[in-house]
Chain A
Amino acid sequence: MSDILLEAKAVAKHFGGVKALQDVSLAIRRGEIYGLIGPNGAGKTTFFNCMTGLYIPDGGGFVFDGQPLKADAPDRAAERGIARTFQNIRLFGNMTALENVMVGRHVRTKAGVFGAMLMNAATRAEEAAIRQRAIDLLHYVDIADRADDLAKNLSYGDQRRLEIARALATEPKLLCLDEPAAGMNATETEELRVLIEGIRKDGTTVLLIEHDVKLVMGLCDRVAVLDYGALVIEDVPAVVQKDQRVIEAYLGA
């Protein structure tokens, strides 16, 4: 088994004349927390969307867990073990928190319509397991007391947590978080840091897109910086922080 979990090979994507991604190549190792940062519009979310199958890259591709990733198939990506959250939180608003996480179990379970109609022992057992696992995950992200509330009625921070729980329910090898700390205060950010570290400790590789440079530098093992759709540097935080190009990109030179 290779040490590399996800490898991006010269991924390119343009929208009309705008080059959102220019031949971005990077590699995420198993078990690390990998940060992807860059100024607004640098192409971070575009990279995410290409990787998780929402966009079809115009060039290059991804190798995940030793096998190429199929473009334009988000559900396949999830099945392969890539789970994600969204920058602008996308929960199933009119389902309860618990149901949201239960939906996350979909890809790892298999009861079909006939099972549902007959409600045989296997289906009932699977359903109970789904529910139990979902409850456990709500405890894991510490919002079990909100299990029966509609997702849209949760507080902003709890919605972020719920989205992480739903992603974890798919048993990902790689968890991709798109600006999870956006809009959080210092306390919530600190709690989030603890949660992400816990997730890594429990064996899931984490890819983190974040604006909060302090959080990224404190949390990530390695960091990649994108600017104008191109990779500027990929290294440990201590090196990245001192890199002249990165400082310029952020200061808008």
Chain B
Amino acid sequence: MDIFLQQIINGLVQGSIYALVALGYTMVYGIMGLINFAHGEVVMIGALVSITVTSTLAAAGMPIGLAGLFGLVAAILVCMALGWSLERIAYRPLRGSPRLTPLITAIGMSIVLQNLAMIIWGRNYLTFPPLLPKVNFEVAGAHFTLVQVAIVLLSAAMMSGLVFLVYRTKLGMAMRATAQNPAVASLMGVNINRVIAAAFVVGSALAAVAGVMVGSYYEIAHYQMGFMLGLKAFTAAVLGGIGNLAGAMAGGVLLGVIEALGAGYIGDLTGGFLGSHYQDIFAFVVLIGVLMFKPSGLFGEKTGDRA
């Protein structure tokens, strides 16, 4: 049973990272119907910026905790600027063009960002400085670390902040209105451009935090780390019902847990035929399974066609 508990804990940690990234996808999709393929790269840039800032400051003699905080803030600021520029430069000119046009742009931006990162940070794995002391806890035979606790708590805090923003502020109301019907929202005086830009900026801030989390969890970062993570997070968003904030969070956590359990048990389930290196297929198998029975995701509203 302790394997079970252990995998649940690991899954929760991974899942809360997915959830943070998934929120960025779902906000942008909900408001403008775009799969922002470059979002995973924003996570990667966040991780790499925070490494550079943290290590530089730590090398200059700053205590590691404080340096890490500066690194996190720097990552958030850089990513917010990046998200804003992405929308402003790449996507905004394409509004009203065929549906696939912005998708190709997003793919192009993803390639650009990856290679830009490779030029700046090189093609090697970078070691992430340990931001928190290595403390281990044990509950009922399952182990977890301080970093894991911090990740779960921090994502919970970020998500609560986002929920507050979306449901309790004027900007949030404008976002929800735009997601419902941009034309009407705009007639009601909502500045659509501002709302879309805000979705990108907020999503990118979450992505930056997720990037720092992934980095400190696995203790490495790399220019290619964003792609698969982004893909999984997008899968999580679709799983929960894209465009739906609660769905993205639930989808993220669920995906993390399913993956962890799947990786832990697939050997037993298939009599040793399939091993834990099949971990990556769970995300997609679960996705296909869920969509077959619930075509708009677990928490998505039914979008029936109307005559």
Binding site for B on A (CB under 8 A): 45, 48-49, 54, 86, 90
Q: Is B187 part of the binding interface, using a Cβ–Cβ cutoff of 8 Å?
A: no
Q: Is B307 part of the binding interface, using a Cβ–Cβ cutoff of 8 Å?
A: yes
For the complex, give the distance between the alpha carbons of A26 and B168 in Å. 52
For the complex, give the distance between the alpha carbons of A86 and B306 in Å. 11
Total count of chain B residues near the partner, CB < 8 A: 2
Question: Can you give 7 A-B contacts (C-beta < 8 A)?
Answer: A45-B307, A48-B307, A49-B307, A54-B305, A54-B307, A86-B307, A90-B307
Q: Name the distance in Å between B96's Cβ and chain A's nearest Cβ.
A: 16
Chain B residues in 8 Å Cβ range of A49: 307
Of chain B, the residue at the smallest CB distance from A84 is: B307
For the complex, give the distance between the alpha carbons of A45 and B305 in Å. 14
Q: Within residues 274 to 307 of chain B, which ones have a CB less than 8 A from any CB in chain A?
A: 305, 307
Chain A residues in 8 Å Cβ range of B305: 54
Chain A residues in 8 Å Cβ range of B307: 45, 48-49, 54, 86, 90
Q: Name the distance in Å between A138's Cβ and chain B's nearest Cβ.
A: 25
Q: Name the distance in Å between A178's Cβ and chain B's nearest Cβ.
A: 9
Chain B residues in 8 Å Cβ range of A86: 307
The 5 closest A-B pairs by CB, nearest first: A54-B307, A49-B307, A86-B307, A45-B307, A54-B305
For the complex, give the distance between the alpha carbons of A217 and B91 in Å. 54
For the complex, give the distance between the alpha carbons of A90 and B305 in Å. 13
Chain B residues in 8 Å Cβ range of A90: 307
Contact with A along B101-122 (1 / 0, CB 8 A): 0000000000000000000000
For the complex, give the distance between the alpha carbons of A54 and B306 in Å. 8
For the complex, give the distance between the alpha carbons of A90 and B307 in Å. 9
For the complex, give the distance between the alpha carbons of A54 and B305 in Å. 9
Of chain B, the residue at the smallest CB distance from A178 is: B307
Q: Name the distance in Å between B97's Cβ and chain A's nearest Cβ.
A: 15
Of chain A, the residue at the smallest CB distance from B305 is: A54
Of chain B, the residue at the smallest CB distance from A52 is: B307
Q: Name the distance in Å between A122's Cβ and chain B's nearest Cβ.
A: 35
